[in-house]
């Protein structure tokens, strides 16, 4: 679990770090759409150049990104494999029952692989350069129009940010309880599956009890400090949209235009 890079924040001072979370989220979502414009090697090449440019400007080392892709690699390869095996067309290299390995199949597999990896890399770049709290702020701001539809956006984002706050606490506590039970002779990850399941009870019960306690304390704290759900609240955290945010969205627009141009130039549609 600790190996997961996606969702982690790496503090830094890069250009990416200073972007407004809203523009980062918008750009990332937009990029995923743009990816579907790609249909030949020229367009994929352009996307790769863009992706590498983004990773480079985040000022986080490439090895961190590679570690981010690694846990998902098997899932990606599995999908690619299916694509390769079940897509026909072009020169056929091998045929065995319903399974064919063809030129188009291989090409499609390669494209799918690129799409997956690029999407992961770009989303990793966003989370690595944005504090979790800024992400929730960004999501909150982008979802604000939904308030008109009676969606409790503010409550949801407060819930999300409090939960995020407690992730490290919960991890610490898990570690502590596990240590305490280890000191009393528990061996984790040893024995049969049933035995392993049994060792989890002494961890989950104390964690459950302390989480309940904490939830009660938190509810009291929030009430005493004047929190009433549904009441109008102001916000201390301010997001500021700067020139670089506009610039980054313009870059996205430029990318789209280049993509469409490359598509029509090379394939005619």
Partner 1 sequence: MGKPILEVEELTFKYDKRLEEETLSAVSFTVNKGEWLAIIGDNGSGKSTLAKLLVGLLEPQKGRICIAGTELTDDSKWEVRRHIGLVFQNPDNQFIGTTVQDDVAFGLENVNMSYEEMVPRVNEALRMVEMSAFCEHDPSRLSGGQKQRVAIAGILALKPSIIVLDESLVMLDPKSRRELLSTLNQLKHKESLTIISITHDMNEAAVSDRIMMMKSGRVLKSGPPAQIFIEEQQLEPPFVERLKRELENKGKEVPKAYTTEEEMVKWLCKSCLMV
Partner 2 sequence: MAMQILFDGVTADYQLGPIRSPRVLKSINLEVKPGSFTAIIGHTGSGKSSLLKAMNGLLIPSEGYVEVGNTIIKSSNNKRALKTVRKQVGMVFQFPESQLFGETVEQDICFGPLNFGVPLSQAKEIAKEVVQQVGLDPTILSKSPFSLSGGQKRRVAIAGILAMNPKVLVLDEPGAGLDPVGKKEILNLISSWHHERGLTTLLVTHDMDDVATYAENVIVMENGRIVMHDDKRSVFSNEQQLINWHVDVPDARRFQLKIEQEMGIKFGQVCLTTEELTEALIEVGLV
Q: Which residues bind partner 2 (CB under 8 A)?
A: 1-5, 8, 64, 67, 171, 176-177, 179-187, 190, 201-203, 205-206, 209-210
Q: For the chain, how big is the Rg over CA atoms in Å?
A: 24
Binding mask 121-140 for partner 1 (x = CB under 8 A): ----------xxx-------
Q: Is the dihedral of CA 115, 253, 147, 236 positive or negative?
A: positive
SS3 assignment, position 269: coil
Nearer to partner 1, 92 or 221 (CB): 221
CB 203, CB 174: distance < 8 Å? yes
Instruction: Verify binding: residue 144, partner 1, rule CB under 8 A.
Output: no
CA angle in degrees (0–180, nearest 5) for 259-261-263: 70
Question: Per this entry, what is the length of the chain?
Answer: 269
CB of 139 to partner 2, least distance (A): 25
Nearest-approach distance from CB 58 to partner 1, in angstroms? 21
Select 71 or 132, whichever has its Cβ closest to partner 1: 132
List, in sequence order, every beta strand (DSSP E) within the chain. 92-96, 99-102
Is 232 near partner 1 (CB under 8 A)? yes
Least distance between partner 2 and beta carbon 79 (Å): 26
Query: Of the two residues 95 and 187, which places its CB atom closer to partner 2 in the complex?
Result: 187
Q: Does 222 bind partner 1 (CB under 8 A)?
A: yes
Among partner 1, partner 2, none, residue 179 binds (CB under 5-8 Å by kind): partner 2
Selected range binding partner 1 among 30-38, 44-52, 229-237, 255-263, rule: CB under 8 A? 229-237
Residue 165 lies near partner 1 (rule: CB under 8 A): yes
Contacting residue, 82, 99, 162, 200, with partner 1 by CB under 8 A = 162
Smallest distance, Å, CB 20 to partner 1?
16
Q: What span, in angstroms and rounded, lies between the C-alpha atoms of 178 and 184?
A: 10
Secondary structure of 233-266 as H, E, C letters: CCCCCCCCCCHHHHHHHHHHHHHHHHHHHHHHHH
Report the largest interatomic distance among the alpha carbons of the chain, rounded to a whole angstrom: 72
Which residue, chain included where needed, has tokens 């199949």?
Answer: 105
CA distance 251 to 242: 14
Q: Give me the least distance between CB of 64 and partner 1, in Å please.
A: 21
Piece of the chain touching partner 1 by CB under 8 A; list 96-104, 114-122, 194-202, 218-226: 218-226
Residue identified by tokens 């469409």 is 260
Of residues 221, 247, 250, 254, which one binds partner 1 by CB under 8 A? Answer: 221
**Rounded Cα–Cα distance for residues 101 and 86 (Å):** 8
Q: How far is CA 150 from CA 110, 176, 230, 232, in A?
A: 44, 42, 11, 14
Pick from 91, 149, 190, 224: which binds partner 1 (CB under 8 A)? 224
| Binding string, residues 195-214; x marks residues near partner 1 by CB under 8 A | ------------------xx
């Amino acid at each position: 679990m600790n190996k997961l890079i996606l969702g982690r924040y790496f503090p830094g001072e890069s250009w990416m770090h200073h972007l407004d979370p809203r523009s980062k989220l918008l750009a990332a979502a937009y990029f995923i759409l743009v990816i579907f414009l790609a249909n030949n090697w020229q367009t994929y090449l352009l996307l790769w150049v863009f992706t590498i440019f983004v990773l480079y400007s985040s000022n986080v080392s490439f090895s961190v990104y590679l570690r981010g892709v690694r846990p998902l690699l098997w899932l990606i390869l599995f999908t690619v494999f299916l694509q390769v095996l079940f897509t026909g067309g072009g020169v056929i290299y091998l045929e065995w029952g319903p399974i064919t390995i063809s030129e188009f199949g291989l090409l499609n597999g390669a494209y799918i692989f690129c799409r997956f990896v690029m999407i992961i890399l770009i989303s990793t770049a966003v989370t690595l350069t944005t504090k979790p709290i800024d992400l929730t702020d960004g999501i909150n701001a982008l979802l604000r129009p939904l308030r008109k539809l009676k969606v409790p956006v503010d409550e949801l984002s407060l819930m999300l940010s409090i939960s995020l706050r407690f992730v490290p606490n919960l991890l610490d506590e898990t570690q502590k309880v596990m240590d305490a039970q280890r000191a009393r002779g528990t061996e984790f990850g040893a024995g049969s599956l049933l035995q392993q399941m049994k060792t989890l009870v002494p961890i989950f019960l104390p964690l459950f009890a302390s989480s309940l306690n904490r939830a009660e304390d938190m509810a009291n704290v929030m009430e005493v400090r004047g929190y009433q759900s549904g009441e109008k609240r102001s916000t201390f955290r301010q997001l500021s949209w700067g020139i670089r945010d506009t610039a980054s969205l313009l870059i996205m627009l430029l990318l789209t235009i280049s993509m469409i141009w490359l598509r029509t130039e090379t394939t005619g549609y």
